[in-house]
Amino acid sequence: MGRFEQVGRRNPDVAKGGKILVAEDDAEARELLLLSLADGDYDVLQAADGIEALHLLRTEHPDLLITDIVMPRMDGYELVRKLRQDESMSGTPVIFCSASYHEREVREMARSLGVRSTLSKPYDLETVRETVNAALATKPASAPQASAETYFYGPAQERLSALITFSRRLFGQTDSAVILESTCDAARDILLAQVAQLVIATGDGSRQNTVSSGLSADEMERLLSSRMYRDLLRSLESGGSALYPMSADESSVDASTVQQGDFVSMLGVPIASVTKTYGFLCVLNRIGLPGFTEEDLAVARAIAAQVAVAYENALQHQALQDEIDRRAEMESEIRRLNQDLEKRVAERTAELEIANRELEAFSYSVAHDLRAPLRLIHAHVQMLREHKGPPGSREPGSHMEQIQRGAREMSALIDGLLALSRVSHVEMRREPCTLDGMVKHAVERLSQETPGREIEWHLNPLPAVSCDPELMQQVFANLIGNAVKYSRPRAKPLIEVGTGVVAVGDNGTTAHPGERYIFVRDNGVGFDMRYARKLFGVFQRLHRQDEFEGTGIGLATVSRIVERHGGTIWAEASPGRGAEFRFTLRDMD
């Protein structure tokens, strides 16, 4: 920081009021001091800790130092002590600032360092101006004389108010780390200590160490490695208290020889609730005094009791929050499982409905389609038995041909039913597949089976999907095979494979508008849409056997495969103008 600011309006014909250094780590308190000095014609330097302030004192030589007592790296007492030891600036006037409940101790500290003036927080603007003017004029500031009752009971009342404020702030927190940090800062401030240390034993056996210090890292290391600190620490770790020296009169330390980081005094108390001991709080090196007092010990115990309850409440709050989060996660998992169960039930129900339809189709096939070739065979066998013509006549041969045709038809029907059954019950083996390769394979195979036919192919790019490659190959083989078969009467057959998007108002499908589909389109004979719902049934045919060969199993197989892949299939056609078969698949890119 260490920056110059001119505070107030300056008249060039009037001498400046002086250069003032404000050493205060609290930004709000520092700004309030600047505001108080706004009516004067001052150049103001700012410092956030004692080390920075000491550097500015040596380089800028201000006319007045206003310093807080409790600051990081170096406290105000040590700052003024070093100031007095330097002959080049030992005569600089100083104003001590502290909380009002430290007024008595600060005045005693001020007298020991030759400091004439003190300011109590929160600052009164008029008092600040009077005290600054008096200090710059090198004469004592006028201050109201406190009565004996106010002198002895006022600071105690102010310290109690500070404890109440700290308690309110503490119990407003639910973060254990924030509680420990704010407790260290408050303990150091209320007990006027160079260092405050708070140690908490955690559940895993480790220790959480929180420190608020006015020393540098090297000075802290020297302080905490002192033998007296380590001896007293053992008492605290066993659950006891510590106070050294027992009174200020018992101190054997020469204040004039004490350096930053030297062990001078220590006060420690356990942090314990009614049911458990959590750790300890200790403060080291009372600022301005050789030791802590019995009153300080009582205040430390009050702070420790409050932090124990607040810390325990924070742990319980965290445990409650963890339990709430755990239950919320369990509820989310239960909802997910229920949704998964509902999805599985829906899938099983759909499969059951399909199985029932297939069973009905099978029953119909057994009752009608499979009986037709049997009736044909039976009729011609009967006619053979009744034949009385000459042995060389052609009639028996004709009956034998019809019997063979019936046997072939029945074999084809049985093979179709077995194929449909396999498609319905074979285990799905999903894997990422490119459909373009499947279409190309189907086209190449059909081209070999229909030599001499010149078919115009329009094969558009298809998306990649996760599917069973063998089953999906059957889909394209059947759909493209049908397109080749039913476009046979055309002089210039045209077959196209590609993708489209379901339009709003498309009533021929259960697919949602905007959903992507794959189509196989031809310019063949087409069919009447009034019979479209029969297309995907077992052995259902819209053309005579003598026009187009087939068993009526192919589209039923395609429909079952598409359904097993989470999709749906439908068709658009008109007689003499071709047909288009469309189908969707789950999670199609």
Q: Which domains does the chain have, with CATH numbers?
A: 4-144 (3.40.50.2300), 154-318 (3.30.450.40), 370-425 (no CATH), 427-589 (3.30.565.10)
CA pair distance 494, 299, nearest whole angstrom: 97
- Rounded to whole angstroms, what are the CA distances from 268 to 75, 271, 290? 20, 10, 16
26 closest CA partner among 98, 124, 110: 98
Total Cβ atoms within 10 A of residue 192: 25
SS3 87: coil
Nearest to 292 by CA among 333, 259, 243: 243
Residues 6+ apart with CB under 8 A from 132: 20, 36, 37, 40, 64, 66, 95
pLDDT in tens, the chain (589 residues): 555 554 444 444 434 568 899 998 888 888 888 888 877 778 888 888 888 988 899 888 898 999 888 888 888 888 888 888 888 888 888 888 877 556 667 777 777 777 878 887 777 788 888 888 888 876 443 333 444 333 334 455 666 667 777 777 877 788 888 888 888 888 888 888 889 999 998 877 788 899 988 888 888 899 999 999 998 988 888 888 889 888 767 777 766 677 888 898 999 999 988 788 889 999 998 887 788 888 888 888 888 888 888 888 888 888 898 899 999 999 999 999 999 999 889 878 877 887 777 667 666 656 555 666 777 777 777 777 777 767 666 777 777 777 777 777 677 667 666 666 667 667 778 889 989 999 999 999 888 888 878 889 999 999 989 998 888 898 998 899 889 988 988 989 999 999 999 988 777 777 888 889 999 999 998 888 887 777 777 666 666 666 777 666 778 888 888 988 888 999 998 898 899 999 999 877 6
- DSSP-assigned states of every residue in 254-287: -GGG--TT----EEEEEEE-SS-EEEEEEEEEET
The helix/strand/coil state of 370 is: coil
Residue with tokens 């129900």: 349
The whole-model pTM stands at 0.48
